[in-house]
Amino acid sequence: MPTAAALFARNEQGRLKQMICQVSSVMVGIVAAIYIPLILYGGDFIRLWVGPKFELSAIVLTWLSVAILLGAHNRVLGSIFWGVGDWKIATFPTLLYAVSNATVSVILCLRWGLVGIAAGTTLTSIPGIIWCTIYAIRRFQLSWQEFFGRAWLGALLGSGVGWLCGELVMFASQHPSLWRLFLQGICFEISFWAAMATVGFTPLTRQRLKTALIGLLIPQLTTKGALREWQQ
């Protein structure tokens, strides 16, 4: 929020737009890396951990994961709106969502039980996500591709590759176990972040990530080289 407020006060719209798109792409990557595996493997994990009698929890987990996942690119907008003085935009839609969520969740709960509450949370979040996305694009004159298109393309591509790698692990080990599920998750994450870093991040984010990785590796290599020279 302070950074957004400072950029807005200096009328640096270009840097503000750049910051929003950068943070949005990173948030999509982080949220997708957590909740897509929960959607893919959450049911198996619950069945293996506590047994099939808790399968209803897997359905609830999937609904809630979808709700969080869909709004991933909007996670930063609340702070941005407060920073640029749009406090009404940051407040009123949230209050409207809370009221509508409670109403719809109670109605669906009477029909579907606990799953209805999770479904109500997800379904009522969708209009707010769409409205907030459209408002942000118009308010800050954002490119939809830079704001969320590139990030979601990388997330979907990474998820597809990660799922395929997970299926290879399942093919190699036919017996269901928590260990196999762990290997599937590891393969998913490695494949996901490789695709996300290549496709999903903005060019500036990729450059900064590359610089950060080089900064982590070079001091270690320099230290090892100096140590070898000293030993010789």
Domain parsing of the chain, residue ranges: 2-201, 204-232
State residue 17's pLDDT score. 83
Kindly state the average pLDDT of the residues 136-143.
Answer: 86
Q: Which amino acid is at 19?
A: M
Separation of alpha carbons 17 and 142, rounded Å: 6
Q: pLDDT tens for residues 52-65? A: 788 888 889 999 99
195 or 1: which leads in pLDDT: 195
Kindly state the average pLDDT of the residues 97-108.
Answer: 92
State residue 74's pLDDT score. 84
- The answer to whether residues 195 and 157 touch, using CB atoms and an 8 Å cutoff, is yes
* C-alpha closest to that of 196 among 209, 211, 213, 186: 209
Residue 226 binned pLDDT confidence (cut-offs 50, 70, 90): very low
Which parts of 121-183 are beta strand (E)?
none
Residue 8 binned pLDDT confidence (cut-offs 50, 70, 90): low
Q: pLDDT tens for residues 208-221? A: 777 777 777 676 55
Q: Quick one: what percent of the chain has pLDDT higher than 90?
A: 32
Q: Which of 1-5, 108-112, 140-144, 227-231 is least confident? A: 227-231
- The answer to whether residues 151 and 201 touch, using CB atoms and an 8 Å cutoff, is yes
Q: pLDDT tens for residues 16-42? A: 888 888 888 889 999 999 999 999 998
State the chain's mean pLDDT as an integer: 83
Q: Which of 32-46, 80-94, 137-151 is least confident? A: 80-94
Separation of alpha carbons 40 and 185, rounded Å: 10
Kindly state the average pLDDT of the residues 97-114.
Answer: 91
Q: pLDDT tens for residues 154-210? A: 999 999 999 999 889 888 887 888 888 999 999 999 999 998 888 888 787 778 777
3-class DSSP state of 75: coil
Q: Is 43 buried (19+), middle (13-18) or exposed (0-12) by CB count in 10 A? A: middle
Six-digit token string for 80: 């941005």
Kindly state the average pLDDT of the residues 112-132.
Answer: 90
Kindly state the average pLDDT of the residues 115-129.
Answer: 91
